[in-house]
Amino acid sequence: MKPNTKEKIHILWKQVLILLGIFLVLHFLKDITQDVLKIQTPLDYMGDIKEDASSLPSWLQAIYFALWILATIVQPLMVYFIFKTWKHNTFNRNDKIIVYLLCYFLAMMIWAFTLTL
């Protein structure tokens, strides 16, 4: 029996989630080793955005750094949702949470990148 379009999309989504999960684990380890422990590892080749938030008003700087702290804390939680969603053969609430968090991370990365310009 051939899988229908919805099943094909779900299979593709699960494959994307594998790559996303691996990337998030590596990125979280990079954040910990690079920013918290201040040690050099091969993970440093993933890059490090050296943004300059000093041009922002002080209240916006506080929000910016608080959102990055939140993003760092949420990374392992997102990995948990990715592995938890593997139990299901259909799209569910965890998939929606993953999409929302992914949009959050992308928005934060774009904001950080624009502060390097």
Can you give the three-state secondary structure of the chain, one letter per residue? CCCCHHHHHHHHHHHHHHHHHHHHHHHHHHHHHHHHCCCCCHHHHHCCCCCCHHHCCHHHHHHHHHHHHHHHHHHHHHHHHHHHHCCCCCCCHHHHHHHHHHHHHHHHHHHHHHCCC
In tens, the pLDDT along 21-57 reads 999 999 899 888 888 888 888 887 777 778 888 999 9
Domain ranges for the chain, please list them: 5-114
Mean pLDDT of 14-27: 92
In the prediction, which pLDDT does 117 show?
84
In the prediction, which pLDDT does 22 show?
93
pTM listed for this prediction: 0.81
Q: How confident is the model at residue 1 (pLDDT cuts 50, 70, 90)?
A: low
Does the structure show a pLDDT above 70 at 79? yes
In the prediction, which pLDDT does 98 show?
94
